[in-house]
């Protein structure tokens, strides 16, 4: 949560500082953790499921606090979960390829843009570096809740070229 709320994403990376923009960054960082946890066998998958459950329990509570009616909350959570799974697939595919697929997915999801621009390219660079940094961390440490996002978002990375 702390990493997803880092001001650099909103101030320099131009992610919208809205409920939607914050959701996108929390979902992105949750995805990165779940991706790493999937590599850790059954204990990692179990922890990843717990992380997912906590995320969506928190969203449920947040929606209720925002005044969304009880009858609508379940539908909204189901739609958010579905979109989260879609993002996971798109980001997995983007990370598996060398091209700009990841930047395109981030442009659509995080920025609401039809094509990747410098912001999305910079964010894709950050995601690739964060993914590598998480992979270098011990799965046991991550499962124990000791996670370090030891990379920094550098918006200027998207300006090259």
Q: What is the pLDDT of residues 112-138, one digit of tens each?
A: 999 999 999 999 999 999 999 999 999
Of residues 3 and 158, more confidently modeled: 3
Mean pLDDT over the full length of the chain: 90
* Percent of the chain with pLDDT strictly greater than 90: 67
Give the residue ranges of DSSP H helices in the chain.
7-11, 19-38, 41-65, 70-96, 101-111, 118-136, 139-143
pLDDT greater than 90 at residue 98: no
Whether 103 contacts 120, CB under 8 Å: yes
Distance CA 147, CA 128 (A): 17
Q: pLDDT tier at 160 (50, 70, 90 boundaries)?
A: very low
The gap from C-alpha 155 to its chain's centroid, in whole angstroms, comes to 17
Sign of CA dihedral 97, 115, 4, 28: negative
Query: What's 97's DSSP letter?
Result: S
Tokens of 43: 């204990």
pLDDT given at position 159: 53
Whether 23 contacts 30, CB under 8 Å: no
Q: What is the pLDDT of residues 61-81, one digit of tens each?
A: 888 888 888 888 889 889 999
pTM of the full structure: 0.88
């Amino acid at each position: 949560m702390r990493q997803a709320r880092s001001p650099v994403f909103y101030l320099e990376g131009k992610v919208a500082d809205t409920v939607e923009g914050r959701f996108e960054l929390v979902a992105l960082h949750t995805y990165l953790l779940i991706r790493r946890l999937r590599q850790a066998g059954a204990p990692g998958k179990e922890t990843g499921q717990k992380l997912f459950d906590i995320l969506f329990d928190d969203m449920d509570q947040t929606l209720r606090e925002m005044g969304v009616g009880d009858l609508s909350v379940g539908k909204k959570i189901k739609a958010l979960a579905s979109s989260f799974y879609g993002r996971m697939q798109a980001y997995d595919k983007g990370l598996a390829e060398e091209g700009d697929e990841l930047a395109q997915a981030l442009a659509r999801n995080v920025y609401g843009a039809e094509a990747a621009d410098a912001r999305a390219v910079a964010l894709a660079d950050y995601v690739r570096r964060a993914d590598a940094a998480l992979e270098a961390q011990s799965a046991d440490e991550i499962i124990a809740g000791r996670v370090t996002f030891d990379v920094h978002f550098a918006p200027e990375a998207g300006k090259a070229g």
